[in-house]
Amino acid sequence: MDEMCQSAIVKGVSEICFTEHLAVREGDPCYGWLDMDAYGKDIAKCRNKFKDKLIIKKGLEIGEPHLSMNKIEPYKSGHDIDFIIGSVHNLEEEDLTVYMQGKEQIESYTGYFRELLASVSQGDMDVIGHFDLLKRYAFDVNGRYRHSDYEELIHEILKTAISRNIGLEINTSGFRSSSLEIFPSQIILKMYKELGGEILTVGSDSHSANMIGNNIPPVYLMLKQLGFKSVFSYTQRKPSAVDI
Ligand SMILES: [Zn+2]
């Protein structure tokens, strides 16, 4: 964490949010790993060390936040969480890479987007994580997916998110996958804008210090072209707009 903060400062990043991964499915490799006390101590240490140089936020990325809510609650309450990303990493009790095996593209994406709809309808989250994550794995197998094949479902997810004040996480790690596209694709951001959505956060999903802040400037440029004027930052789960 210390190294990540130092890298952010060197790269001119003014605010960073850690989003430790909370997995609720027992077979998930991350299941049972998150230690909130240790996480809280690391955050406090870094906030103290870098206090004049970097704003440090404490977040969580919760996998399938609509499932096992009673397991999730103790990780949220009393921990001063600034920000929650809600993601779908597992489906039908399997990792997405296993879930999609032997399925046609239409079947795997329909299942994934349906689960995302369930998640955004019921789960407690501030933003939807990496909206079309399945393409990270499915691109090599089935190529690019056509948004028009899932338009109704995508619309439903976006409308539900807007009605619940849930935003979208723009995740630049897609540039590191073979699809070479951000999550979500630009066309989904356009739909979100047309439906009246405004809340966007931008992150690099860095799992190592050298990736911090990767590809964020070109994303800001693209957002401006789509008509967005700001991105959002969360403190104690309250969004505030930051001009871009
Ligand atoms: Zn994720």
Domains and CATH numbers, the chain: 59-243 (3.20.20.140)
Of the candidates 160, 162, 68, 63, which has an alpha carbon nearest to the alpha carbon of residue 120?
160
* Gap between the Cα atoms of 161 and 152, Å rounded: 14
Ligand 1 mean position, distance from CA 163 (Å): 23
Ligand 1 mean position, distance from CA 94 (Å): 15
Q: Which residue ranges of the chain lie beneath pLDDT 50?
A: none
* Gap between the Cα atoms of 105 and 32, Å rounded: 32
pLDDT of residue 141: 82
pLDDT tens track for 139-160: 888 888 899 999 999 999 999 9
pLDDT of residue 106: 94
Looking up tokens 């699809």 gives: 179
Angle at CA of residue 171, ends 106 and 146, nearest 5°: 25
Torsion of CA 199, 164, 134, 230, to 10 degrees: 0
Q: Which residues surround ligand 1, an ion (CB under 5 A)?
A: 87
Ligand 1 mean position, distance from CA 227 (Å): 27
pLDDT of residue 208: 80
pLDDT tens track for 1-24: 999 999 999 999 999 999 999 998
Ligand 1 mean position, distance from CA 128 (Å): 10
Ligand 1 mean position, distance from CA 96 (Å): 11
pLDDT of residue 79: 96
4 has which bridge partners? none
pLDDT of residue 175: 77
Ligand 1 mean position, distance from CA 89 (Å): 6
Ligand 1 mean position, distance from CA 207 (Å): 11
Ligand 1 mean position, distance from CA 131 (Å): 10
pTM: 0.94
